[in-house]
C-alpha cells in the first residue's frame, strides 16, 4: 500500500464540508416531501428557467391541475396561463434587492397573490436558481375590505341616523298639516290638488330617508334554512302587490328537492322583491319574466385553499324588456345611481350589500340575443359568515321587506 512521503500528505476536505459526528445524509426525497408539505405555494426554477420543484399548494393557488411531467420543463410553458407569475420568476435574476412581501394580481382568476423570493446559490456563491414562496391573499383582502367597509358604514350610519332624525320630524309635520288643510279645503279643487302633491312629495322624501338608513346600517343576519321556492313565490306576491304585473307572463322554473340556503330569509326576500319589482316596472305590463333556479355542486366563485367554495344555488331573473344600456350596466349597483326619474338609486346597492353579506355574488347581463336583462344570483348553501349565526325561534316570523 502506497503511503504519501513526508511533507506531501494528501489534503482532506475543507473543514466546512467535513461530516460532523451524528450527521446523517438526508435523501433528496426528504426535501421533496418538505416542499410538498408546505401550505404556501412554492416554485423553484434553475437559472435557465426550467422548473425544479412545485408543490400542490402552488397549483391550487394558481387554479391549475398538477402535471406529473412539469418538472424539467420551461417555467414559461408550465405557467402559460398565469403570465404574471412567469414575469415575477424570470425577473428574479435581474432584481436587486429581491421583493419581499410583494403582491401581484392574476388577470385570469382575479386572485391576489402575495409573494416573497430568494436566490439559490451553490457552494461557491454563484446563483443557480430562484425560489418563489407565495399565498393566495384574495380571502384576506376580502375580509380586510369588508372590515374597512364596516368602519365606513358605521361612521356614515351614525351621521345618517342623526340627519334622518332631524329630517323625519319636519317631514311628518308637513304631511300632517297638509292633510289637515286638505280636509278643510274640500270646496277648493285647486288647493286639493296642490295639497295632494305636497303629501305625496313628503311621503317620497320620507321613503328616501328610510332607504338611506337601510343602506348605511351594517347587515346583521338572522340565519335560518330558507327554501328557495318559498322565497321566490313570496317575493312574486310582494312585487305584484307593489307593481301590478298586468299582462306580463311569469314563468317559474324551480326543480323539486332544491336544497335550502342558510341565510336571512327576510333580507333575501327583500333582494328578490326588488329584482322582480324592477322587472315589472321595465316591462310596463307587457312581456315575459322567467325565474329559474339550479343546484350547483360547486359555486363558480374565487376560492382559496383555506376557504374553498362548496355547493350552492344559482338563481336567474330574466325579462324581455328594453334592457340596460351597456354604458350604465357596470354602474347600476353603485349607491345613488339610477335611471328612473324618481328613483333613489339605493335599491340595487342594498341588494348587492345583502348578497355580499351572504358571501354570494350578483351579476347582470343582457338577455338572450341581447334582448332584455338577466340578473344572475349565486348563493352558497352554507356560507361561513364571519359573525356567529343568530337562529330564529320556530315561531319567529320576520316582517315583510320594503322594496325599492
For residue 261, which phi and psi values (nearest 5 degrees)? Answer: -110, 135
pLDDT digits (tens, 9 = 90+) for 125-149: 888 899 999 988 877 777 777 777 7
Band of pLDDT at residue 332, cut at 50, 70 and 90: confident
Architecture per CATH, domain 221-404, reads as 2-Layer Sandwich (3.30)
Classify residue 304 by burial, with Cβ atoms within 10 Å: 0-12, 13-18, 19+: middle
- DSSP lists the bridge partners of residue 102 as 115
What digits encode the pLDDT tens for the residues 339-365? 665 666 677 888 888 898 888 889 999
Residue 399: band (very low, low, confident or very high) from pLDDT cuts 50, 70, 90: very low
Q: b or e along 107-130 (b: 16 or more beta carbons within 10 Å of the residue's beta carbon)? A: eebebbbbbebeebeeeeeeeebb
pTM, rounded to two decimals: 0.51
Dig out the grid coordinates for 269 from the structure: 326576500
Grid cell at residue 171: 317631514
> H or E stretch including 168?
helix 138-184
Contact residues for 172 (Cβ-Cβ < 8 A; gap 6+): 206
Question: Quick one: pLDDT at residue 287?
Answer: 92
Domains of the chain, by residue range, sit at 26-136, 140-218, 221-404
What is the CATH code for 26-136?
3.30.450.20
C-beta separation of 353 from 215 below 8 A:
yes
Whether the pLDDT of residue 302 is over 60: the answer is no
> What pLDDT does residue 323 have?
87
DSSP state at residue 381: S
What angle, rounded to 10 degrees, do the helices at 138-184 and 189-216 form?
160
d(CA 66, CA 54): 9
Residues 153-178, mean pLDDT to the nearest whole number: 78
Question: Three-state SS for 250?
Answer: strand
CATH 1.10.287 fits 140-218, yes or no: yes
DSSP per-residue string spanning 330-349: TTTTSTT---STT--S-HHH
Amino acid at each position: 500500500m502506497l503511503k504519501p512521503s513526508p511533507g506531501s500528505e494528501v489534503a482532506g476536505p475543507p473543514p466546512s464540508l467535513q461530516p460532523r459526528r451524528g450527521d446523517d445524509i438526508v435523501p433528496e426525497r426528504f426535501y421533496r416531501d418538505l416542499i410538498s408539505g408546505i401550505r404556501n405555494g412554492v416554485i423553484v426554477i434553475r437559472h435557465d428557467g426550467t422548473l425544479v420543484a412545485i408543490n400542490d399548494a402552488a397549483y391550487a393557488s394558481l387554479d391549475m391541475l398538477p402535471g406529473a411531467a412539469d418538472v424539467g420543463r420551461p417555467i414559461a410553458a408550465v405557467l402559460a396561463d398565469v403570465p404574471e407569475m412567469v414575469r415575477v420568476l424570470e425577473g428574479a435574476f435581474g432584481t436587486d434587492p429581491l421583493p419581499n412581501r410583494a403582491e401581484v394580481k392574476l388577470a385570469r382568476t382575479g386572485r391576489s397573490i402575495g409573494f416573497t423570493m430568494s436566490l439559490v446559490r451553490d457552494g461557491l456563491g454563484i446563483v443557480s436558481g430562484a425560489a418563489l414562496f407565495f399565498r393566495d391573499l384574495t380571502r384576506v383582502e376580502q375580509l380586510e375590505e369588508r372590515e374597512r367597509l364596516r368602519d365606513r358604514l358605521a361612521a356614515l350610519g351614525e351621521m345618517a341616523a342623526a340627519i334622518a332624525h332631524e329630517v323625519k320630524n319636519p317631514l311628518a309635520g308637513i304631511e300632517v298639516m297638509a292633510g289637515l288643510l286638505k280636509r278643510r279645503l274640500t270646496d277648493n279643487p285647486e288647493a286639493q290638488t296642490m295639497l295632494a302633491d305636497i303629501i305625496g312629495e313628503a311621503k317620497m322624501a320620507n321613503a328616501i330617508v328610510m332607504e338611506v338608513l337601510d343602506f348605511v346600517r351594517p347587515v346583521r343576519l338572522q340565519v335560518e334554512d330558507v327554501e328557495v321556492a318559498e322565497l321566490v313565490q313570496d317575493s312574486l306576491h310582494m312585487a305584484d302587490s307593489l307593481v301590478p304585473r298586468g299582462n306580463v307572463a311569469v314563468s317559474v322554473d324551480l326543480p323539486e328537492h332544491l336544497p335550502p340556503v342558510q341565510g336571512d330569509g327576510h333580507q333575501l326576500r327583500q333582494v328578490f322583491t326588488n329584482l322582480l319589482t324592477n322587472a315589472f316596472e321595465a316591462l310596463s305590463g307587457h312581456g315575459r319574466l322567467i325565474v329559474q333556479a339550479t343546484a350547483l355542486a360547486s359555486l363558480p366563485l374565487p376560492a382559496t385553499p383555506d376557504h374553498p367554495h362548496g355547493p350552492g344555488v344559482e338563481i336567474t331573473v330574466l325579462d324581455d324588456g328594453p334592457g340596460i344600456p351597456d354604458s350604465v350596466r357596470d354602474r347600476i349597483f353603485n349607491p345613488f345611481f339610477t335611471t328612473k326619474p324618481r328613483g333613489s338609486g339605493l335599491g340595487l346597492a342594498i341588494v348587492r350589500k345583502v348578497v355580499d353579506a351572504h358571501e354570494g355574488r350578483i351579476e347582470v347581463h343582457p338577455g338572450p340575443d341581447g334582448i332584455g336583462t338577466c340578473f344572475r344570483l349565486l348563493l352558497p348553501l352554507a356560507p361561513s359568515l364571519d359573525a356567529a349565526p343568530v337562529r330564529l325561534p320556530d315561531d319567529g316570523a320576520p316582517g315583510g321587506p320594503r322594496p325599492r
